[in-house]
Structure 1
Amino acid sequence: MGRGTPVVRLLRAAAVPATLVVLVTLSGVVLGRVYAGSLLTMLVAGAAVGSVLVSVVTRRLPSWLVAPVSVLAMLGWTVVCLRVAATGAQVPGGFVEVAGDAAGNAIPRLLTAMIPVEATPDTILLPVVAAWLAGLAGAEVALRAGRVLLGYLPPVLLHAGAVYVVGPNAEPAIGATVAFVVTAALGLAVSARPSDGDPVDGLAPAVRSGVRARLAVASAAGTAVVVALAALLGPAVAALVDTAPVDPRRYVEPPQVETLDENPLIRISGWALNPEQELFQVATERPGGAGPADPAGSTDPAGPPEGAASGGAGVRIRLAVLSDYDGVTWRVGATYRNAGRILPPTEPAPYATVETVRQDITVGDLSGRLLPAVPTPREVSGARVAYDQGTGTLIRPDGLTPGLRYTVTSAEERPDSNLLATADTPAGDAVARVLHVPDGAPEQLRRLATQLAEENGAPYARAAAIEQWLAEHYRLVADAPSGHAYPNLAFFLFGPRNGGGQRGTSEQFAASFAVLGRLAGLPTRVVVGFAAPGSGPVRAADAYAWPEVLFDGLGWVAFDPLPRPDEEPRPVEEDFRPQPEDPPPSEQPEPTLEPTASPPAQAAPGGPTDSGGVSTPVLVGGTGGGLVLVLVAVLVTLGWLRRAQTRARLHRGDPGHRIAGAWRELTDTLRLAGQPVAAGLSATEVAALARRALAAGSASNPGRAPAGPPSAPVTAGLVRTADDSAAAYASVDELARLVNQAGFAPGSATEDQAAAAASAAIVYTGALRATRSRWRRLLWLTHPGPLRWPR
């Protein structure tokens, strides 16, 4: 029998190539859901058409020649795509430089890019190349080998990879996936060859009956297998419908700031000592025609310090936002994501006006990675940046270099100052980070915050009272040493004037305001930036720090607690009531030279200088006394060995080994609590088991609240309080996340993450041990099991 008209044969022959093009293009549609614009989808569609077309045109060539020809065509299409993306995103640099940078960083930047991802050379390179290779492999298998169904495998893998990369960052790709399945089915149906008749025709009747019986049995068996698989896997698949997919970005470390930038607050004193150092040049333009304006304007209760910016009226440029404080140092605590030229917009405060500000900045002696910009940036050209949407700050992952020039267009918010007096401040988990007060705050700070809060009820009145207190009682000097730990702030606020107290740089003023504000119930943070002229050089003398308070409906509002140059400070003792019960610090604490993770250890009492006691020898007589002495010695030895084991696990080796050691501390703790961890459990399952064990211990001993030991280090981002079991539960999840990262991305763990893992293990161990009786806690500390249990 014939196989149809030429038109039918042509359609049947074109069905497979057309199907492959559509399947590969649909993967671009799926991935394009997290991209800004439709450029990526069009580039992937071009790769699909090009790869399949090359295979169709070279079908009669030897198979070994097709791949080189297709790869050459892929390189040409990739060059076109890179040029189009670089032009559209206004990526600086020559094509060779841009292409080399994209080739070397395509994977990490795709997985760390801010969503929506801008189609830049480094974010489109991998999808375009993967789409071309999938089209090439699928076309060769389906067309040359004639295995159509097997030829669908590369597009299927590409589609699955796109779904995985998108993760939970977009709605489920139901439409694209249904279209994928329907297209594949139509392609199979149309490309199927027509049958010339019943395949058993011409056979003997007995043979024909046997063949048909075997076909029937095979069909029934296949149907039974499909039904059984549906019955077994259906509930498990259905249960995953409402489950959020895994985000692959959790396994890739986003761009980080340098150690120099973790706490730029301590750079204030160094800049103050070199006031003429030119950090960068700025030219500010307000497209609305207003020209340069007072940085305070209607935004802040008070503007930057007088004389901070040369050139009169200017603009406040922000460098870093510090939200985390552990009693020793303020830290940036931001998560920066690679971003394109257009930054994702954020909703302005309801009661604020927005003004566009354009800045052309040329870097001079400013070092590090933090990029200065007027808040809040919306568009950046001239430099590849990473952006933290929570704080609206920028970094350049490659670091700042003299001569770097870039342009930032910002949306500057101006809250309605008329509403400040009656505005409230938010509360709850959403702002817990900026309300957190670390343990160990000096009693004098607490009393001062209480005094100012009691005299002023409304949030803005409290903030204004703190601002006024600092401006009226303290002196701004340029030669004060750096430092904003609790002892430094206590000396600044209450130290003797003739001994160096009650004087400091903007570092101490801003840090004191932020801590006093949090003690008074205000959500605060510290900002480091510059009071810059509208146009001209920005020098080290223009750098300063200021505090900000978050108000409902108004957003973050800056305050200026710096004293006025023509006012003489009032003595603190005249207005601080009640008088301090303890004498204020008489010696200035050591200055802060670099960010530290925890306060210095205190000297243990009873050291070599303690001569107040009388030495009494212990006389042990009789067999009973000897046994007691041996037992005590054994327990002390076991306790010492256990502590040495814990220290070795948490504080020795590279960060990956220390994270693994912290995990072993947690699993040993569960085993000691009667909850041994099965070998096949994942980190997430172990974390769930740990939470259940802690909940069960708390329920059986309601009088004992889980809490970590007082000596446990405090790590930024991990809130620990003596009466809040939430910290213990959070520590388990944090540790499981770090273990997963260390396992799936070996060598990516950092020192800070290792310290966080150690802190999490200590918090949870202390919390679970606290739910036991006193004798069980003692036995727990000396149990020999962890010393001999196999790993």
Structure 2
Amino acid sequence: MVTVTAVRPSAPVTPPQDDAGGLALRVLRATPVPLALVVLVALAGVVLGRVYAGDLLTRLMLGAAVGSVLVSVAARRLPSWLVAPVSVAAMTGWTVFALHLAARRAALPGGFAEVAADAARNGIPRLLTAMIPVEPTPDTVLVPLVAAWLTGLTGAEVALRAGRTLLGFLPAALLYAGALYVVGPNADPAVWPSLAFAAAVALGLVAPGGRGTTGPDPTAALPPEVRTAVRARLVAGTAAGAAVVVGLAALLGPALAAQVDERPVDPRRYVEPPRVESLDENPLIRISGWALNPDQKLLDVSTQAPAGPQTRIRLAVLSDYDGVTWRVGATYRNAGRILPAAEPGPGAVDTVRQEIIVADLTGRLLPAVPTPREVTGARVAYDPTTGTLIRPEGLSPGLRYTVTSLRERPDVDLLATADVPAGDEVARVLRVADGTPEPMRRLAAQLAEDNGAPYARATAIERFLAEHYRVVADAPSGHAYPNLHFFLFGPRNGGGQRGTSEQFAASFAVLGRLTGLPTRVVVGFSARGDGPVRAADALAWPEVFFSGVGWVPFDPLPRPDTEPRPVEEDFRPPKEEPPPSEAPEPTVEPTATPPAVAAPGSGDADRGVSRSALVAVAVLVLSLLVGAALATLVGMRRAQARARLGRGDPGDRVAGAWRQVTDALRLAGRPVGDDLAATEVASRARQALAEARAALAGGSADTPAGAVLVGAPAPGVDEVARLLNQVAFAPGTLTGAEADRAAAQAATYVAALRAARPWWRRLLWSVHPGPLRWHR
């Protein structure tokens, strides 16, 4: 019985230094594959950056590509199990720098720790719900940055350390495909980046050292018969793989070519964007509650604007009416500090800058002068159709933000002759819900009878409401058809013909649509310069859309200190239809501003990602992580073998060769105990190989390679056992040549035993972590 004790390896022999020419040649051979990996990962950043504002994301992903590949190149001399922790530490540093840079450029409020935690928590949903062009903020750059670094790490480990160049390019291809999918139809086809990607792959494969063949032939040490069989199997596998690739190309090529002109799928369709809460879905009903509490302080405003008309702060735009309630029908997308600009109208445009501090206003709707172009101090979501904002986390007392807006003043000289559009583009703001009371239809027809031009019809409705109705603060809330009917035609002594701006704006919008005008209702505040904005300043007003001019506000409220004329003087319903005598039930509404529902974490808006989108992203990330783990295990096993069989003391190399043999037996399910002599282990090793070959040949009917292996002589490890005994009983007598023979015989036996295993066990052989810990 022989017991092998650990022997401290002697200092490795330092090879002679290469001359300058040899060093340059080695650098030239080692450069193409890392350079190709950097280019492939960076091209994914180029593709994704097409939907981002500026080039910050592209530069950050380029830095991640360079950093991840350089770390793997620099750490090739280190044990493979150290590479992943070192690379992750470098990734953490680069990510912290990138998040800090993105937060500083976007002028986000809060500390860095808070911003980074929010980005980590909500990176995926905000990336898929952000408005295009996407501003590079921490939450929109974190996921691409980490994915780029992990891709570079995985590709470098597989291509450089494991020598599988083509397989190492696969993570970069997956990242590139993911970038194309995220961009979808929101950018022009990525023709040049795709061509550059294919060229980089081709150059990386054909360049010197690009095939992973820098090491010796692994079959060189096998007996001739076994080597011939193994090479035959390799040739057969290569031919089969080529046939599969050609077949797939012929089968799928036409179908893929037919998709060239198809519109890509937009992943945003599967993600629910941020939404307003129920309190903000119909802010029109809050007008009555604010009117009853006129001194309630809602905002503090500081305004910088040129001299002009009174500034109105817009809270919400309501475009949808179903006969019962007006609703906010906006689609909000997470936006950055700079909001997308729309084409301004022909009128004058003023720049208005306001600093707003929230007091008692609650909900998610964020007040701003129309139309906002830049917001600092608050994270917002924006609807470009209405030009309104929300804060997905909800408003809170003390929230301070600054809004820079472009206030448009329509050209009044164009209004008299302006037309109104028709068709699908304005069908939403022309729709009249079923159940319209007949008196309202007759009133609309009467007002439009002598006013053919759209602007004349709008001013006729405005004058009629201003001249016949009274504004009161205690009018019940409600703007359904029965409420509007009572407001327009109810008896004065019974509470009719009086209301708040809610009824005035809603009545104008409905009468306007009945006369063919595209209308909507806006809720906001009238700001009287700098200072507090109170509940008494809350206001609703209608707007009409004119071709070539845009949305024009109207004011149907009566002038102060004017006595309204009775409606009966200008409009009388038919005698057979008695006027209503009872007021309809008011809409249930808050008497004061109700508290906002607390938004845990990032709010409901940030949890609107569909399960399929999350699963796809999770599978991609998990694939990258699994690939990195497998590549690390393969590299660690190869490094272990080189350490055991490489240069050093001959005795240590023989002991390492013996450990290779015993580890292989253990991987094959035939472990040997410490109580056996070396010659007994050698005998069992030969028997284990013979039985494995027989099982491989008899386990399937179509295993000619297995049959060849059965007929071939089984390599043994008798020489390794003899030299091991010499190490134990005559230490220091071995030569380097004897250690080389032991290493070659051990490698031959291990390769033969592995080749005799089923195909799926051969796949697991190189990634099994057992040998890394069995001899610790």
Using the size of structure 2 for normalisation, the TM-score is: 0.70
Structure 1 position 230, deviation (Å): 3.0
Counterpart among 97, 107, 116 of residue 80 in structure 1: 97
From 298, 302, 311, give the equivalent of 1:283. Answer: 302
| Deviation (angstroms), 1:261 | 0.5
Q: How far apart, CA to CA, are the structure 1 residues paired with 2:242 and 2:94?
A: 45
Distance in 2 (CA, whole Å) between partners of 1:58 and 1:200 is 28
Q: Distance in 2 between matches of 1:155 and 1:444?
A: 68
What is the identity, as a one-letter code, of the residue corresponding to 1:46?
A: G
1:528 paired to 2:523: yes
For 1:17 and 1:744, the matched residues in 2 are separated by 32
CA distance in 2, matches of 1:88, 1:413: 28
2:552 partner amino acid: V
**In the TM superposition, what is the alpha-carbon distance from 1:229 to its structure 2 partner?**
2.9
Answer yes or no: is the 8 Å Cα contact 2:351–2:407 preserved in 1.
Answer: yes
Aligned partner (choices 478, 485, 489) of residue 484 of structure 2: 489
In the TM superposition, residue 577 of structure 1 has moved relative to its aligned partner by 5.1
Cα deviation for residue 196 of structure 1 reads: 12
1:354 Cα deviation (Å)?
1.4
> Could you list the per-position Cα deviations for residues 638-684 of structure 1 after superposition, in whole angstroms to 9, with x for gaps in the alignment?
xxxxxxxxxxxxxxxxxxxxxxxxxxxxxxxxxxxxxxxxxxxxxxx
The match for 1:238 is: 257
Q: Which residue of 1 aligns with 2:309?
A: 294
Alpha-carbon separation, structure 2, partners of 1:744 and 1:18: 32
Q: Residue 359 in 1 paired to residue 351 in 2?
A: no
Matched, 1:274 2:293: yes
Aligned to 1:337: 333
Q: Does 1:118 align with 2:135?
A: yes
Aligned-pair CA distance for 1:555: 0.3
**Mapped contact 1:275–1:541 kept (Cα < 8 A):** yes
Whichever residue aligns with residue 486 of structure 2, its letter is F
Instruction: Supply the AA of the counterpart residue of 1:413.
Output: E
Aligned to 1:161: 178
Q: How far has the Cα of 1:143 moved from its partner?
A: 1.1
Q: Does 1:476 align with 2:471?
A: yes
Counterpart selection for 1:251 from 270, 290, 304: 270
Matched residue count: 577
- Asked if 1:260 is matched to 2:279, the reply is yes
Q: Kindly, what percent of the aligned residue pairs are identical?
A: 74
Q: Is the CA contact 1:252–1:745 (under 8 Å) kept in the aligned structure 2?
A: no
Structure 2 equivalent of residue 145 of structure 1: 162
* 1:251–1:745 contact (8 Å) kept in structure 2: no
- Structure 2 residue identity aligned to 1:348: P
Q: What's the C-alpha RMSD, in Å, of the aligned pairs?
A: 3.0
Call closer, same or farther: CA 1:742–1:428 in 2, change over 3 Å. farther
SS at match of 1:593: coil
The amino acid of 2:98's aligned partner reads C
Per-residue displacement from partner, 1:235-274 (whole Å, max 9, x unpaired)? 2112211222221112222111111100000000000001
CA contact (8 A) 2:271 2:609 kept: no
Counterpart of 1:305 in structure 2 is none
CA–CA distance in 1 between the matches of 2:507 and 2:137? 43
Structure 1 residues 436-492: Cα deviation after superposition (integer angstroms, max 9, x where no partner): 001111111111111111121000000000001100111110000100000000000
CA gap of 1:199–1:294, structure 2 versus 1, over 3 A, is closer
The yes-or-no answer on 1:322 pairing with 2:318 is yes
Aligned equivalent of 2:398, options 391, 399, 403: 403
Query: Partners in 2 of 1:330 and 1:430 — Cα distance?
Result: 19
Cα separation, 2, equivalents of 1:7 and 1:745: 47
**Aligned residue number for residue 45 of structure 2:** 28
SS in 1 for 2:38: helix
Is the Cα–Cα contact under 8 Å of residues 546 and 559 in structure 1 kept in the other structure?
yes
Q: In 1, distance between residues paired with 2:178 and 2:359?
A: 44
1:60 — aligned with what?
A: 77
Alpha-carbon separation, structure 2, partners of 1:132 and 1:239: 34
SS at match of 1:448: helix
Tell whether the 8 Å contact from 2:33 to 2:210 is kept in structure 1 after alignment: no
1:422 partner SS: coil
Distance 1:13 1:588 in 2: 87
User: Structure 1 stretch 570-579 or stretch 507-516: which is displaced more?
Assistant: 570-579
Q: State the secondary structure of the residue aligned to 2:527.
A: strand
1:96 is matched with which residue? 113
SS of residue in 1 equivalent to 2:416: helix
| Counterpart amino acid of residue 511 in structure 1 | A
Residue 172 of structure 1, CA deviation: 1.5
CA apart distance, 1:198 = 14
Mapped to 2, the partners of 1:413 and 1:13 lie a distance apart of 61
Residue 591 (1) aligns with residue 586 (2):
yes
Q: 1:212 to 1:128 in 2, by over 3 A?
A: closer
1:136 and 2:132 correspond: no
> CA offset at residue 57 of structure 1?
1.2
Shift of 1:7: 2.5
The answer on whether the counterparts of 1:250 and 1:741 sit within 8 Å (CA) in structure 2 is no
2: CA distance between counterparts of 1:391 and 1:13?
A: 57
Contact 1:451 1:577 in 2 (8 A): no
1:179 and 2:196 correspond: yes
Task: Say yes or no: does 1:127 pair with 2:144.
Answer: yes
- How far has the Cα of 1:499 moved from its partner? 0.5
1:348 aligns with 2:344: yes
How high is the TM-score relative to the length of structure 1? 0.69
- Indicate which of 27, 34, 44 corresponds to 1:10: 27
CA distance in 2, matches of 1:334, 1:281: 26
Partner of 1:686: none
Give the drift of 1:583. Answer: 1.4
Any conservation in 1 of the 2:288–2:477 contact (CA below 8 Å)?
yes
| Structure 1 residue runs without a partner (length 5+) | 202-206, 296-314, 596-738, 747-791
AA in 2 matched with 1:318:
R
Alpha-carbon offset, residue 8 of structure 1: 3.1
The answer (yes or no) to whether the contact 1:444–1:580 under 8 Å persists in 2 is no
SS in 2 for 1:318: strand
- For 2:142, give the aligned amino acid: L
Q: Which residue identity does 2:277 align to in structure 1? A: E
- What is the one-letter code of the residue matched to 1:321? V
C-alpha distance in 2 between matches for 1:352 and 1:526: 22
- What code does the residue aligned with 1:453 have? A
**2-structure distance, mates of 1:214, 1:541:** 87
TM-superposition CA deviations, 1:298-347 (whole Å, max 9, x none): xxxxxxxxxxxxxxxxx111000000000000000101111110001111
Q: CA deviation at 1:743?
A: 7.1
CA gap 1:102/1:209 in 2 versus in 1, 3 angstroms: closer
Q: Give the deviation of 1:376 after TM superposition.
A: 0.3
Q: Which residue of 1 aligns with 2:417?
A: 422
Whole-Å separation in 2 of the counterparts to 1:529 and 1:56 = 60
Which of structures 1 and 2 has the larger relative contact order (alpha carbons within 8 angstroms, sep 6+)? Answer: 2
- The Cα shift of 1:168 comes to 1.2
Q: 1:542 aligns with which of 534, 537, 540?
A: 537
Could you say what secondary structure the match of 2:30 adopts? helix
* C-alpha deviation, 1:584, in angstroms: 2.0
Give the CA deviation at 1:744.
6.5
Aligned partners of 2:355 and 2:217: how far apart in 1?
A: 78
Q: In the TM superposition, what is the alpha-carbon distance from 1:397 to its structure 2 partner?
A: 0.7
Change (3 A) 1:382 1:208: closer
The answer to whether the 8 A contact 1:24-1:131 is kept is: yes
Alignment-mate amino acid for residue 587 of structure 1: E
Instruction: Within 5 Å, give how 1:387-398 maps onto structure 2.
Output: 387-398=382-393
Question: 1:215-230 to 2 correspondence within 5 Å?
Answer: 225-230=244-249
Residue 220 (structure 1) shift: 7.7
Q: Which deviates further from its counterpart, 192-201 or 445-454?
A: 192-201
Within 2, Cα distance between the matches of 1:104 and 1:195?
44
Question: Distance between the aligned counterparts of 2:613 and 2:140, measured in 1?
Answer: 22
Q: Report deviation, 1:383.
A: 0.5
Residues 329 and 11 of structure 1: CA distance in aligned 2, closer, same or farther (over 3 Å): same
1:298 alignment partner in structure 2? none
Deviates more, 1:232-241 or 1:575-584: 575-584
